[in-house]
Structure 1
């Protein structure tokens, strides 16, 4: 079955107004709240959900509508230093937000477990999975994923089940946009335009939006065009739809 999976990243008290705007935009194309939210427990160390009861209530309300809730790091901020391939990723693929790129297995696992407990307490439901900030995982984070009981994980090119031999449940590049510089914005707009014509054969198409996208009308227009192009040809679904059906009891 062909699916369209959409998500809003960086959901936190810091970004609530932008998330509201993006949620309305996605729901308008997808026929309702048929998307996921990636929740940051303490965005950049200054916006703890644990100290924001009104926002916790919003998370529960969104979850009650059927929106999947993923744990999205803890701080969404990378305070480590990196060399080699990790350093290249940290410089080229994110602006200091690859939080899980250099963490040890123990520290990554601690942040994953605490984030999972926080979001599950707020929503009253199991977390849908874990997605690292900027989709960047170091060796410690990859090892910790198998320890923490998450059903799903995602990076730029796949969705998989942690601890299940890393077998992909979906493959293909995620369509997303970059707002932090003119050249990056232009590149992301060009890729989205290309994707609208070339990715229809994929069984699963993923579209991810970020709070910063609302600052640029060209990005918002591209999001509209991209959602419309894929929603005409495939239904919006849930990440959980990728999981195999549990075996029937005898």
Structure 2
């Protein structure tokens, strides 16, 4: 059974930026600056070491310095795949085709065996260690993890991973309820449907101990999506929810 936050804890909100890389920072920058104007709102940045094979962090020292400044301000950096691209063999069967070519083209860890996943994860952690960045969490691109990836994570000094509705304490994969909102913003009809669904989820989870807002660069390219996230964050803060990074929230959890 998933763990639940103790009832006496103050309700919280987690702001999570997905697909963080040098080329996606221009998308995020105006939004991050707007959030900074709200006061002390720590964020969790899901960093991709070499986004789509063209954004190696070692070639972007200015961006790395930006991430270091965010750490100094109280934000968190988490590992988000390595390439954030599915470069594996062609899909086998209808389920694999749907997950890897219809649902997403970026399920990097969906088809990896344990050795492949471990090698990719260790390479990502080495990037963090080279920069001296603390890292407690790993989030698979599109939240897709093979069983081999799960086994690999059990061998590493990471504290958590996550899916859309839960954080998992590692290495045991203990599930903790942490419902999340996310948009599909690539077309007008998807944005419209996402707004309706998110509004319904906020009402459904109004009394939830925590809510995660999972943002993507594509959201930032559309004013309707970008404004929705900012207004939703403001509303949740006005309700008294405390903004926390994933690691800070995890630190507060106790077994029910």
Q: Same fold (TM over 0.5)?
A: yes
Which whole-Å deviations, capped at 9, do the CAs of 1:150-208 have from their partners, x for residues lacking one?
111111111011212x2113332x11112222332222111122223221111110001
Q: Distance in 2 between matches of 1:191 and 1:28?
A: 28
The partner residue of 1:121 within 130, 146, 150 is 130
Q: Structure 2 CA distance, aligned partners of 1:156 and 1:85?
A: 20
Deviation at 1:36, TM superposition (A): 0.6
Conserved? CA contact 2:17–2:45, under 8 Å: yes
Counterpart contact for 2:27–2:221, Cα < 8 Å = no
From 182, 185, 190, give the equivalent of 1:179. Answer: 185
Judged with a 3 Å threshold, the aligned counterparts in structure 2 of structure 1 residues 19 and 236 are, in CA distance, closer, same or farther, namely same
**Deviation digits for residues 55-98 of structure 1 (CA, Å, limit 9, x no counterpart):** 2211111111111000000111112233354433334432x111
Q: Give the aligned partner of residue 23 of structure 2.
A: 14
**Equivalents in 1 of 2:138, 2:76: separation in Å?**
11
Secondary structure in structure 2 of the residue aligned to 1:175 = strand
Alpha-carbon shift at residue 45 of structure 1 (Å): 0.3
Per-residue deviation, 1:48: 0.4
Cα-Cα RMSD: 2.1
Q: Which has the higher contact order (CA 8 A, sep 6+)?
A: 2
**Contact 2:85-2:107 within 8 A present in 1 as well:** yes
Aligned mates of 1:241, 1:86 — CA distance in 2: 36
**1:14-59 Cα shifts (integer Å, max 9, x gaps):** 1121122231233344x23411100010010011002222222111
Paired residues of 1:6 and 1:207 also in contact (CA < 8 A): yes
* Aligned-residue offset at 1:237: 1.1
Secondary structure class of the residue paired with 1:153: strand
Matches within 5 A, 1:65-76: 65-76=73-84
Runs of at least 4 residues off by over 4 Å: none
Equivalent positions of 1:93-112 (< 5 A) are 93-94=103-104, 96-112=105-121
TM-score relative to the length of structure 1: 0.89
**1:199 and 2:209 are equivalent in the alignment:** no
1:90 aligned partner: 100
Matched, 1:5 2:5: no
Cα distance in 1 for partners of 2:24, 2:143 equals: 19
Helix, strand or coil for the counterpart of 1:61?
A: helix
Out of 162, 166, 191, the residue aligned to residue 158 of structure 1 is 166
Q: 41-50 or 189-198, which moves further after superposition?
A: 189-198
Matches within 5 A, 1:25-36: 25-29=34-38, 31-36=39-44
CA deviation after TM superposition for structure 1 residue 120, in Å: 3.2
TM-score by length of 2: 0.87
Partner-residue secondary structure (3-state), 1:243: helix
Secondary structure of residue in 2 paired with 1:14: coil
Q: Which residue of 1 aligns with 2:243?
A: 236
Evaluate the alpha carbon distance shift between residue 198 and residue 245 of structure 1 in structure 2; reply closer, same or farther with a 3 A threshold. Answer: closer
